[in-house]
Each structure stands twice: as C-alpha cells, then as structure tokens.
C-alpha cells in the first residue's frame, strides 16, 4: 500500500528528440480554446464531410482524448484513465479499426487492471440523415493472452466506408500493477485532427514527463489545483497538466529510420520519487534515480555485475589464452573468437543473464549471456573489460538526460586498446573484433564502471563498401558479355558473407539471379567467404541478351546495366524526421566496354559531380571514350555522414534524384560506313 506526504513541487521534464520539439503556446484564459466542441454520442451530418486533406488516409482520428486522475480505494492507490475516441473509416482497409483491442494487465497480489464502462456507436450518413448502431453484448469478448495479460475486444457494428465510430471507456490501474501512466501518442499512422491528454498529479509524487517527436504542441499548460486523495490528509496541492496537438499528420514509415517510437509525437511518464505522510521528518523514496546510482545498481545486481565477477569455470581457458598470446590485442581477439565460436546466439537481445555458467554448458544463449561471459573471460585474463549497455535500433534511442533503465535492452563488452575504446559483440561469428552489428549502431551507449562510467559513442568504425568492376564486350546484335567483379568491404562484406554461408552457394546464386533477371551466368567464383576475411568478392562471367536496343544503324544502351539505382528511396518532397543510414556508404561502379566493330559513340551522358552541403556526401558520374575506342563509365556515391537532419533532406533527396536520372541515361552508338571512316 502506498501513502504519501504533501509536497508542493512536481517535476516536469521535456526530452527533446534529435531536432528538438516546439512546445507551442501556453494557452491564456482570454484566448479561444482551440479544441473542437465534441461530445460523446452527438453527431451532426456536417461531421462526415471534409475531415482531412490527406486523400490517401484509410481513416481519420477526429478526436482522441485521454484524462488521468489518481484515486484511493480502501487504502490502495489507483490510476484512473478515461478515454474517448472518434474516428472516420474512409476505406475498407480500415474496417479492422472498428474492432478495439484493449490489454488489461494482471497483478501478482490479486489486484488487476480493469477496463470498464465501454460504450460504442457506429454512425452512418444515409440520405442526409445520421443512422445509429450501438455496440451490443455479442460484440464484446475476452481473450486470455497469458497469465499476465488479458485482452478485451469490442467490435462495433455496421461499419462501412464513410462510417464514424465513437467510443469511450475507463481503465483502472492499481499501483501494484503500474504507478506510471501509459504513454500517450499524439501521432498515429492516420491523420489526427485533435489529440488531447490531461493529467492531474498530486504533489505527493515527482514524475518525469518526457515529450518527444517532431510535431509542435498546440496546447501545453500547467495549472495549480487541489485534490483529496488520502484519508485524513485533507485537500493537498496538485498540478493539472493539459497537452494537445491539432492537425497531426499521419506518421509514415519513411526510408532510413530506426523505429517509429523515435519519431512519433508522444508523452511518457516515469515516477522519480514520492514522499510518505505522517512522519515527523519527510521521507523521500527514490524510484527513478540518476546515472551513478543506476550504474551502482547494475554492478551490484546478481543478474548483471554478479555474472562477470565470479567465473571460475573460465579460469583454465583464460590461463591457456594468456600463455598462447603475449600481447594485449592478441589476447582480446583470442577471447573474443573463443566465445563467439563456442556459444551460439539465440537471436534475442537482452540486458540481464541468469546464469552464464549454465549457458556455457548448454552452448547457447542471448546477447547478455554471451557478452557478459566475454567480459568475465577477459577479466580472468587480467584485462579491464566492462559492460556497455545500449538500446538497439528497433528498441529506440536513449536520452542522456535521464537514467531510465527500461530504455536499454542490450549489452556489449568494452576494453581499451592503446588508449582507444574498443567495443565487442560476440553474438556473430562473422563480426570482426571492434565492429558492432548494425542493430547496435544507435547513437550512444553507457559504459558501466565502478568509478569511470560515461557515455560512449556507437558510431560505426567500418563503412558499407561496394566496388563493382566490369569488363564487357558489346556485340552488333545488342548482346553484352563479359565479367563483373562485385567486391564488398565493411558492413557490406559482413552482410554478403553471412548470407552466402547461411544460405549456401546454390541459394545465394538464386537470389543473385532473382535480382538480375537479365543475366545469363556462365561462371561464378567466390573468395573471402571465411569469417576472418576482410573483403568478400564475387566474380561473374555473364551474358545479357539484347542489352542494347536497336534502331536502324544505331544501338542504345544504359552503361550501368543491371547495377543502376532505379528508384529514389526518398519519395516525399518534405520530411520531418532525420534520415539515418546507420553506416557510411561508399559505392563505386566502373566498367570498360569494347564496342562492336564498325560502331562509334554518337551520344553519351554528360559527366556530373554533385557535392552535398558541408561535404556530407558526393555523387560523381563520368562517361568517356579512350584512345582504343572503348567506352569507360564510372559512378561513385559517397555519404560521409550516417545521419541527415530534416533541414538537410532537400539536398539529399536531390542527390538521389540525380543518381537515378544519370543511371537511366543512354549511350548511343552509330554504325560507321566506309565513307564516314574516310
């Protein structure tokens, strides 16, 4: 049971994501309230018309409202959340939105989250009049998902294109299940005309309130008020918060982003501390603590620091490696190789490990099992190894402003070599020492150390390198034949080599053929397929029938052949979110074409060199004819930054537009008669 002491301050904190968050205006009493006048169960015909300017939207959230208060029931504290949602179904693909699925969490002490007072209606416009269909009992059923979660499902009737559905409900959450209000998302995958969230927080509690996203607040206010929450305490101070956004665009899953939650406009809550009433001296209990306290907690936890403090089962192996390798780097590499080759990763991210000894015996474990074991082995070798905790790209970025352990889901090993940081992830046998997998390249991580904890960059130490080199002969009938060498380095080599070894040569070749259907492969050779190689190379002897178009005495062909960029990944004219490539990109294509006898180049693309602002990237394209009447083409795409902000999006989009356009341009060859030769 929670009881708390009066305190007159509530902590409000705004976390700004990437570019920053504009908080809008603080609404004044004399200004007109921008919120729409919407009441549950009241619909007029005009509300069916012109609900959005987004013609592609399958549905539109006309109104999304949530309000949270605190309640005391028989000495137990509860969060009481009231919701009202109104949306219009515009396409058949949105029919499933008329089935509302609400998850109720089950507590361990007999108290459970409850969903009550659900009411719902479907409205249709028929001959200018509004027809009403009410949710009935047959539209509601309960599903037990697990011992911890039950799902309440409500299906509203008679939904068609143009229908408006209107529903409201209450969720009662005991503090024993969760004392943090649920995250409120202002932005959805459909347009939202109005989204509003209110919460009244008694001054017993210090909550961190974190706003993230790229859409500005329309309303952002805090007003003092009072609440009567605890028996015998009377009315105490509280803060009434109101947050709202109007005309929120649909979130679109654009190219090169991490995870939706890093970009969508939302507000989150984390209870930092509370104070107990009734004591002579106020007693503050900290729940969400600072970084140093969190580091200490992790190192003292049996499932984290306890796993690498005692690892006697690795001692004999450590002694053997120390005697075999005299230098520090050699020992680190040997320990890394031993763990990644001995323990198979089960493809699961994790921060905690129950028992690395058991994992060692079973030879299979998650990321925490493997990397905490690596740290333990390195320490047994008298190497100062420590954990770096991070959040994977699919889990979302961390904020360095707040120590929120729930934001982390992965751990790797850290060592220092020659005074430089070296990060090790032994989950992948194809990863070179010091290279993190792409899913770990997510801003910054936290080095957890007894005295030297700090944030550490997760920037990649390798690039994504592709070099395509061709030597071709053009035939007068339009066929092209020759060799093409695909050389991969860095992350491209890792990706290709892993795919080759996992799928096998036959399946790998089939996937190559599917991507390049015009190829007739006569021979294929591969080198650098073992995990210790730096580069991975593919050499193909191919023929591409009718690669050239023919018209009279002329041949037409695109010199990029099958290696061209055919589409610009950046479709939208404007973009709110950063572009995140994860790694630096270096892509080169060069080829030499021996022209058919009796032909010469009549027309060819002009060369181009385009450089992004602040030298963020470059596109170079050149076509020329050498002294031997051979056509030479070279294309190079170089991106020197992993992330481009929204204000850098325009030039980046234009760069890729130029790439697509240039790669599509043709070379024209003309047959030369004897008179022309003279």
658: alpha, beta or left? (left if phi > 0; alpha if psi -120 to 50): alpha
Architecture of the domain spanning 464-674:
Sandwich (2.60)
Least confident of 229-238, 324-333, 377-386: 229-238
CATH number for domain 291-457, candidates 3.40.720.10, 3.90.1150.10, 3.10.620.30, 1.10.260.40: 3.10.620.30
Cβ within 8 Å of residue 66, ≥6 positions away: 81, 82, 83, 184, 196, 197, 198
**Average pLDDT value for residue range 347-352:** 97
Least confident of 54-63, 224-233, 405-414, 607-616: 224-233
Cα distances from 510 to residues 504, 515, 543, in angstroms, run: 10, 9, 16
What is the model's pLDDT at position 9? 33
Confidence band, pLDDT 50/70/90 cuts, at residue 98: very high
Angle between the N-to-C axes of helices 315-324 and 367-380, in degrees from 0 to 180, rounded to the nearest 10: 60
CA distance 504 to 165: 52
Confidence band, pLDDT 50/70/90 cuts, at residue 678: very low
Confidence band, pLDDT 50/70/90 cuts, at residue 278: low
Ranges of CATH 2.60.40.3140 domains, the chain: 56-286
What is the model's pLDDT at position 381? 96
The fraction of the chain above a pLDDT of 90, given in percent, is: 79
Q: What is the pLDDT of residues 47-69, one digit of tens each?
A: 898 777 788 999 999 999 999 99
Token reading at 43 = 């619909």
- Which residue in this structure is represented by tokens 């083409």? 633
| β 266-276/205-212 pair status | antiparallel
For 56-286, CATH number?
Answer: 2.60.40.3140
- Asked if the model's pLDDT at residue 368 lies above 60, the reply is yes
What is the model's pLDDT at position 282? 54
Residue 541's H or E segment, with its range, is strand 536-544
Alpha-carbon dihedral 13, 17, 19, 22, rounded to 10 degrees: -40
- Asked if the model's pLDDT at residue 534 lies above 80, the reply is yes
What is the model's pLDDT at position 414? 98
- Asked if the model's pLDDT at residue 527 lies above 70, the reply is yes
- Asked if the model's pLDDT at residue 1 lies above 50, the reply is no
- Asked if the model's pLDDT at residue 353 lies above 60, the reply is yes
Closest CA to 369 of 312, 334, 411: 411
CA distance 317 to 501: 28
Cβ within 8 Å of residue 609, ≥6 positions away: 618, 619, 620, 621
Confidence band, pLDDT 50/70/90 cuts, at residue 529: very high
Least confident of 3-7, 202-206, 369-373: 3-7
Confidence band, pLDDT 50/70/90 cuts, at residue 676: low
**Average pLDDT value for residue range 654-672:** 96
What is the model's pLDDT at position 10? 38
- Which residue in this structure is represented by tokens 């997998």? 437
**Average pLDDT value for residue range 535-551:** 95
CB atoms within 10 A of CB 638: 18
Ranges of CATH 2.60.120.1130 domains, the chain: 464-674
Q: What are phi and psi of 604, to 5 degrees?
A: -150, 155
pLDDT averaged over every residue in the chain: 91
Confidence band, pLDDT 50/70/90 cuts, at residue 6: very low
Cβ within 8 Å of residue 612, ≥6 positions away: 618, 648, 651, 652, 655
- Asked if the model's pLDDT at residue 597 lies above 50, the reply is yes
SS (H, E, C) 338-377: HHHHHCEECCCCCCCCCCHHHHHHHCEECHHHHHHHHHHH
Q: What is the pLDDT of residues 380-427, one digit of tens each?
A: 999 999 999 999 999 999 999 888 888 999 999 999 999 999 999 999
Cα distances from 307 to residues 294, 298, 370, 640, in angstroms, run: 17, 11, 11, 40
- Asked if the model's pLDDT at residue 578 lies above 90, the reply is yes
Higher pLDDT, 617 or 76: 617
**Average pLDDT value for residue range 483-501:** 96
Confidence band, pLDDT 50/70/90 cuts, at residue 2: very low
Q: What is the pLDDT of residues 435-470, one digit of tens each?
A: 999 999 999 999 999 999 999 999 999 999 999 999
What is the model's pLDDT at position 636? 98
């Amino acid at each position: 049971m929670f009881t708390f002491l009066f305190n007159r301050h509530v902590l409000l904190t705004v976390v700004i994501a990437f570019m920053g968050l504009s908080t809008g205006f603080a609404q004044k009493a004399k200004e007109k309230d921008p919120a729409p006048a919407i009441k549950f169960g009241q619909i007029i015909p005009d509300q069916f018309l012109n609900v959005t300017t987004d013609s592609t939207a399958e549905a539109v959230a006309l109104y999304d409202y949530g309000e949270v208060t605190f309640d005391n029931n028989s000495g137990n504290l509860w969060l009481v959340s009231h919701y009202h949602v109104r949306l219009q179904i515009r396409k058949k693909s949105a029919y499933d939105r008329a089935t509302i699925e609400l998850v109720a969490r089950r507590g361990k002490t007999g108290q459970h989250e409850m969903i009550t007072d659900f009411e719902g209606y479907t409205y249709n416009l028929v001959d200018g009049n509004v027809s009403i269909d009410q949710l009935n009992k047959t539209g509601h059923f309960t599903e037990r998902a697990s011992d911890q979660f039950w799902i309440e499902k409500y299906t509203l009737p008679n939904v068609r294109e143009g229908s408006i559905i209107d529903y409201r409900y209450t969720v009662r959450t005991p503090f024993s299940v969760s004392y943090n209000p649920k995250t409120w998302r202002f932005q959805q995958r459909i347009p939202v005309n109005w989204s509003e969230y209110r919460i009244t927080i008694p001054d017993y509690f210090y909550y961190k309130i974190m706003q993230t996203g790229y859409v500005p607040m329309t309303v952002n206010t805090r007003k003092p008020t009072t609440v009567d929450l605890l028996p015998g305490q009377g009315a105490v101070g509280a803060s009434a918060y109101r947050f709202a956004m109007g005309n929120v665009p649909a979130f679109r899953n654009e190219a090169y982003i991490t995870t939706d939650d890093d970009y969508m406009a939302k507000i989150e809550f984390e209870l930092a501390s509370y104070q107990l009433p009734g004591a002579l001296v106020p007693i503050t209990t900290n729940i969400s603590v600072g970084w140093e306290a969190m580091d200490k907690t992790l190192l003292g936890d049996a499932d984290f620091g306890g796993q690498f403090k005692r690892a006697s089962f690795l001692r004999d192996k450590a002694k053997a490696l120390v005697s075999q390798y005299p230098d520090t780097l050699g020992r680190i590499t040997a320990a890394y190789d031993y763990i990644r080759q001995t323990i198979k990763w089960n493809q699961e991210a994790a921060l905690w490990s129950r028992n690395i000894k058991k994992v060692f015996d079973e030879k299979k474990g998650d990321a925490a099992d493997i990397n905490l074991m690596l740290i333990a082995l390195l320490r047994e070798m008298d190497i100062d190894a420590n954990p770096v905790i991070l959040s994977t790209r699919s889990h979302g970025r961390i904020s360095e402003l707040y120590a929120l352990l729930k934001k982390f889901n992965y751990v790797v090993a850290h060592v220092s070599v020659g005074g430089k940081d070296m990060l090790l992830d032994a989950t992948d046998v194809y990863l070179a020492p010091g290279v993190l997998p792409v899913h770990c390249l997510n801003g910054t991580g936290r080095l957890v150390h007894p005295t030297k904890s700090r944030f550490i960059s997760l920037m990649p130490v390798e690039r994504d390198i592709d070099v395509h080199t061709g030597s071709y002969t053009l035939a007068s009938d339009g066929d092209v034949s020759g060799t093409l060498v695909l050389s991969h380095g860095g992350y491209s080599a890792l990706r290709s080599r892993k795919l080759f070894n996992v799928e096998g040569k036959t399946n790998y070749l089939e996937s190559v053929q599917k991507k390049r259907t015009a190829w007739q492969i006569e021979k294929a050779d591969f080198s650098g397929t073992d995990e210790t190689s730096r580069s991975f190379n593919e050499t193909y002897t191919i023929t591409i029938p009718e690669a050239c178009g023919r018209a009279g005495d002329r041949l037409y062909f695109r010199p990029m052949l099958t290696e061209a960029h055919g589409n610009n990944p950046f479709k939208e004219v404007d973009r709110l979110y950063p572009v995140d490539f994860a790694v630096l990109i270096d892509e080169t294509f060069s080829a030499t074409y021996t022209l058919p006898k009796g032909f010469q180049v009549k027309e060819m693309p002009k060369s181009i060199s385009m450089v992004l602002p602040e030298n963020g990237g470059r596109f170079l394209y050149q076509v020329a004819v050498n002294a031997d009447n051979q056509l030479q083409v070279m294309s190079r795409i170089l991106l020197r930054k992993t992330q481009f902000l929204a204000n850098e999006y325009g030039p980046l989009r234009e760069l890729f537009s130029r790439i697509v356009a240039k790669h599509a341009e043709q070379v024209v060859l003309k047959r030369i008669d004897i008179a022309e030769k003279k």
